[in-house]
Structure 1
Amino acid sequence: MTTKPARRVVAALAAGASVVALGVPATAADRPITDVAAIAANLDLITGNDRVPGALAEVRDRRGRSVTIMSGTAESGTGRAMVDGDGRFRIASVTKPFTAVAVLRLVARHRIRLDEPVETYLPGVVRGTGEGSAIDGREITVRQLLQHTSGLPDYVRFPGSVDRDRPVEAAELVRIALDHRPEFAPGRGWAYSNTGYVLAGMVVERVTRQDIATAVTDLVIRPARLRDTYWPPAGERGIRGPHARNYTLDETDPAGPLVDVTEFEPSWAGASGAMVSTPSDLNRFWRELSGGGLLPGWALAQMRTTVPAPGLGPGVAYGLGLIRLPRSCGGHLWVHGGDLAGGGVANVSGHDDSGRAATVYITALTGGAAVARMRATLDLALCS
């Protein structure tokens, strides 16, 4: 165990380990911020039972203290220790809160209006074709893009339409969706749609006259003082700096060796899921967001205004890039999760109303059991 100047306690666990020595707290202020042993046990089940090479959880309290628990290895078949809370990984759909904050910062500057039609910012872009002929950007608002109430089909559901190994333009992803039947009329239902966030990114680009990577860096990453978070450009398939390898099952031999899918074309995910960050940076992002460092109070209230999200589970609701998740110990969490089917990583990250934040991620997609345990670990981290 080592303690760094920022009061992070790093507990490194090999798969199967069961004991973490954090010492006995001397004062109330030094009490453990979460149940490290219970979290470690969960992570060990993921790396031991669920065929996931590496798993990590980092919890940060409102005073800025954090604890990082790692299990397994950073690379399958090796003894290389799992990276710590400063190791980078693809955050997948946890990109969506960043895109939503960028939009809301522009709303606060009176450059975007949430209830304005998408047509205002992207004239002629959102026009359905073929089975999607009913789709019309004049009837879909910016708010509906961010809240998944637009009815837009999710381009991810049509994987044969995109070559995931080549750079792709956002407009091409949108066109794939526009050729398919809408889920419902705008505002008449809820259905998760990555297409809405790709369009929200295009709105940001049109308004700022910057590419989405530059805009989100200027509007969110720098103001939140995130040191290790970045938006990879199209064609950059690797991950910069320290990181674990990522894996998925071989579809032709699910019981066989895992397939390394660390190399991934980020433009395929775009404003819905392209970003790279670290657990430490994500927890800092939540602290800045909940503490008012990124949005004025009224804008944060808009972000937390939710509608039922039946596709995500009982009692779950969705705001603008935020999931309101019931907590097993009472109350709720503000979170987002994500996975990249072609990128072999899943994660869930968020905070509670007291200011505590947590991020959990796993380095392989091996089935529902590992993902369920990952989500349960976040709940445990912010309940204990």
Structure 2
Amino acid sequence: MSQKNSRRLLATAVAGALLLSLVPSSPASARTEPGASRPASLQARLDRLTGEDGLPGALAHVRDRRGGDVTTVSGTAERGTGRPMVGADGRFRIGSMTKPVMAVTVMRLVEQGRIRLNVPVDRYLPGVVRGKGAGAAIDGRRITVRDLLRQTSGLPEYVDAVDWSKLPQDYLGLALTRRPTPAGRFAYANTNYLVAGMVVRAVTGRDFREVSRDLVIEPLGMRDTYWPARGETDVRGEHARTYGVHPADPAGGVVDLTRLPGYEFGAGGGLVSTPGDLNRFWRGVFAGRTLSRGALRTMIGDSVPIGNADWPAGARYGFGIADARLSCGRAWFHGGDVPGVSVVSGRDRRGRQVTVYTTGSAGTAAQREHLIAAFETALCG
């Protein structure tokens, strides 16, 4: 498969969770962290994001199978200041990269016998998932936990129905009034993981945030990863500023979006993490540090075709983890977007982990293509 085709495949995954498009900001200068030794092409890929694409900052963090870490950066951590872009320990909102963490959380509960993949959602949430109006065909008695994780439930998206000026809202209620997608076929919707988080709470009696922390985040040593508290709008610790159009005021132009109600992004996109921690996630999960080998095989092997016209044949989605063949072979990954951030993170068969993110939403086709080019260059280097 050519690099152009594989990037186009991955770009759809990144775009799938997009909450907001970014109006490009002014270009920023580029640098590479001291001691880093990456091919010039990776630096050039990041420089294109912060130059031609106008995104304030960009970062690629690579960990090879021998444990060596290299971080390459471009742009600035704060527009108008020249402040250097933060490194691999800088925190950012990871958007839908939250989904792989939640999928592993559910699989931990499956291994404990507390959740069954083929059981209808209605068994855990009696009468909760019932559509009305345009969504009258939605019925939790016909949707399994497996369907939620693989995005084949038919549940419609709720994110683009939210009034961002009036939070919180009944997010599931919004989805249940919308027309469903065809059941049994891949159709990306944050609603699937919203409901998965509700199932976790139902079987444990605890918030999905606490459960994922205890079963996944802490066991994998993701010390800089956390769920924002209710009402919390800041990002804790070292971080870059993020920029874009606020969803509650789309006419207001590009603004600083560093302060956002992260708690409201929920089980499908609410985590704050670092590039270093995301690479630890991939390394730990594939090394069997939180799941059995059998459970991991189910997550990545029980997958469905993406099926979207923009994807080449062969792209598949498992339990919160997509896979595709890049120019250097097979890779497992997920993308994520929240207002002001775009990220793609994953690993290859060799045990190389890569996280690339920008401090502005890669909202255009060109920006997404360039983000994916940086990811593939870093992974295949």
Fold in common (TM above 0.5): yes
Distance 1:280 1:214 in 2: 21
SS in 2 for 1:73: strand
Distance 2:31 2:168 in 1: 44
Counterpart check, 1:336 vs 2:334: yes
Provide the residue aligned with 1:232 in structure 2: 228
Provide the residue aligned with 2:372 in structure 1: 375
Kept after mapping to 2: 8 A contact 1:154/1:193? yes
SS in 2 for 1:196: helix
Structure 1 residues 338 and 275, CA, compared in 2 at 3 Å: closer, same or farther?
A: same
Counterpart check, 1:54 vs 2:57: yes
1:354 positional shift: 1.6
Distance 1:20 1:283 in 2: 18
Q: How does 1:164-183 map to 2 (within 5 A)?
A: 166-168=167-169, 172-183=170-181
Q: Superposition RMSD on alpha carbons, in Å?
A: 1.9
Kept after mapping to 2: 8 A contact 1:228/1:281? yes
Which of 60, 83, 96 in structure 1 is aligned with 2:86?
83
SS in 1 for 2:129: coil
Kept after mapping to 2: 8 A contact 1:155/1:194? yes
1:190 positional shift: 1.3
* AA in 1 matched with 2:99: K
Q: How does 1:104-143 map to 2 (within 5 A)?
A: 104-143=107-146
Distance 1:371 1:295 in 2: 32
* AA in 1 matched with 2:90: G
1:22 positional shift: 5.1
Question: RCO (CA 8 Å, sep 6+): is it higher in 1 or 2?
Answer: 2
1:374 positional shift: 1.2
1:370 positional shift: 2.2
Structure 1 residues 239 and 290, CA, compared in 2 at 3 Å: closer, same or farther?
A: same
Provide the residue aligned with 2:42 in structure 1: 39
Provide the residue aligned with 1:321 in structure 2: 320
Q: How does 1:248-327 map to 2 (within 5 A)?
A: 248-249=244-245, 251-252=250-251, 258-305=254-301, 306-311=303-308, 313-314=311-312, 315-327=314-326
Kept after mapping to 2: 8 A contact 1:164/1:265? no
Counterpart check, 1:354 vs 2:350: yes
Provide the residue aligned with 1:5 in structure 2: none
Kept after mapping to 1: 8 A contact 2:28/2:75? yes
SS in 1 for 2:209: helix
Q: Deviations over 1:26-83 (max 9, x none)?
A: xxxxxx6xx4321111111111111111100000011221100111110111111111
1:18 positional shift: 7.4
1:283 positional shift: 0.3
* AA in 1 matched with 2:327: S
Off by >6 Å, runs of 4+ in structure 1: 18-21
Structure 1 residues 114 and 179, CA, compared in 2 at 3 Å: closer, same or farther?
A: same
Kept after mapping to 1: 8 A contact 2:31/2:74? no
Provide the residue aligned with 1:63 in structure 2: 66
Q: Which runs of 5+ in 1 are unaligned?
A: 1-13, 24-31
SS in 1 for 2:294: helix
Q: Deviations over 1:284-317 (max 9, x none)?
A: 1100011111110111011102111123621321
Q: Which runs of 5+ in 2 are unaligned?
A: 1-26
Structure 1 residues 128 and 77, CA, compared in 2 at 3 Å: closer, same or farther?
A: same
Distance 2:263 2:133 in 1: 25
Counterpart check, 1:154 vs 2:153: no
Structure 1 residues 93 and 222, CA, compared in 2 at 3 Å: closer, same or farther?
A: same
Which of 36, 55, 72 in structure 1 is aligned with 2:75?
72
SS in 2 for 1:289: helix
Q: How does 1:216-231 map to 2 (within 5 A)?
A: 216-231=212-227
Distance 2:373 2:255 in 1: 26
1:268 positional shift: 2.8
Work out the percentage of aligned pairs sharing the same amino acid: 51
Counterpart check, 1:211 vs 2:207: yes
1:323 positional shift: 0.7
Structure 1 residues 271 and 164, CA, compared in 2 at 3 Å: closer, same or farther?
A: farther
1:328 positional shift: 2.0
1:355 positional shift: 1.1
Distance 2:368 2:262 in 1: 22
1:16 positional shift: 4.8
Structure 1 residues 54 and 379, CA, compared in 2 at 3 Å: closer, same or farther?
A: same
Kept after mapping to 1: 8 A contact 2:29/2:76? no
Which sits farther off after the overlay, 368-377 or 76-85? 368-377
Counterpart check, 1:247 vs 2:243: yes
Distance 2:206 2:349 in 1: 34
1:209 positional shift: 1.0
1:367 positional shift: 3.4
1:325 positional shift: 2.0
Give the TM-score normalised by the residue count of structure 1. 0.86
Give the TM-score normalised by the residue count of structure 2. 0.87
